[in-house]
Amino acid sequence: MTALGKHPLVGPWRIVEADLWDRDYLDLCGPATITIGADNRGEIAFGAMQATLDLSYSSSMIFFSWDGFDEMDEVTGDGSAELIDDGSIEIAFAYHNGDEAILKAKRITSSTA
């Protein structure tokens, strides 16, 4: 578990763009985010969709299946996220029998004043 805590993708990320949806849609119900946990679990929320992630890890990527709700309808799918050279992550996100999108996210950093 300690090794996963140091995985480069573990932590909170802000989804900043998508190839299918504009920023207004991404942030429809609040800031679009993905949280990658070190415990094989995570969460993603954008638009009217909220889901939990079941994660597996490689050295610079994660793979996931997900289930949740989009506009109160149950939805499922899968995807992956990969660390790219600029320090952001690229997320391949797919609904089961539906849309497939590429999302980009930047790490959320908190500052203490």
Nearest to 47 by CA among 33, 67, 65: 33
C-alpha–C-alpha distance, residues 74 and 80, integer Å: 20
Amino acid present at 96? H
pLDDT in tens, 5-63: 689 999 999 999 999 999 999 999 999 999 999 999 999 999 999 999 999 999 889 99
C-alpha–C-alpha distance, residues 16 and 103, integer Å: 8
Domains of the chain (ranges; CATH) run 2-107 (2.40.128)
Nearest to 78 by CA among 44, 105, 108, 48: 44
Do residues 103 and 94 lie in contact, with contact meaning Cβ atoms separated by under 8 Å? no
Global confidence as pTM: 0.90
